[in-house]
A and B are shown apart, each in its own frame.
Chain A
Amino acid sequence: GAGVSQSPSNKVTEKGKDVELRCDPISGHTALYWYRQSLGQGLEFLIYFQGNSAPDKSGLPSDRFSAERTGGSVSTLTIQRTQQEDSAVYLCASTHLGGKLFFGSGTQLSVL
């Protein structure tokens, strides 16, 4: 596609449920990031994938969070046993060879 695509755009879930958020990066982009944006806050780094290298998971806030990137393209961010504090906008971005980052429109996650 023309840009970074994220789905769903909105997700409402109950506390304790698991959720999966999907990111389709721009075709050919080797690097993919996940960021979290809480209300009134800046973007918080979660995880970084680059090609076949081991991902940088240093930003994942707890072991309830995990992400994978299959075939060097699509990525899924999984949050297990969601908590209310997980409510935020989850943004995905992709880039190629350290160039400009292109962000998706994000997934607004609401945990009730």
Chain B
Amino acid sequence: GQQLNQSPQSMFIQEGEDVSMNCTSSSIFNTWLWYKQDPGEGPVLLIALYKAGELTSNGRLTAQFGITRKDSFLNISASIPSDVGIYFCAGQGSGGSNYKLTFGKGTLLTVNP
């Protein structure tokens, strides 16, 4: 089946530092998505990418859809304590399924104030 390899598994950073995480896949996806999950909550969509090579920003977040359509990265600039949580990448629209999302295992981000 499809698998997404997300790295790193966890990060411990100081407030104000920049963060980068990425996902790679053995399959091509039509859409890449990045979610954040706070404790006890469901994931919330941060950024959606729809086109190979697309670079999209949302405040301090920047994400890119890889040219090969098999990878994506997420950058967070000038981290703050509320950035703490689990970040998931997800690919959508592969293998004939336009609706099924395949998720990475997540990156646990801890920000020390």
Contact = CB atoms under 8 A, between A and B. Distances in A.
B102 interface: yes
Contacts, number: 50
Interface of B: 4, 6, 40-45, 48, 88, 90, 97-106
B51 to A, nearest CB: 16
Contacts of B45: 100-101
Given A56-B100, A98-B98, A41 B42 contact: no
Nearest to A9: B40
Contact of B102 (A33, A45, A104): A45
A2 to B, nearest CB: 14
A1 interface: no
Interface of A, secondary structure class, is: strand
Interface size range of chain A in the complex: 20 to 34
Nearest to A43: B103
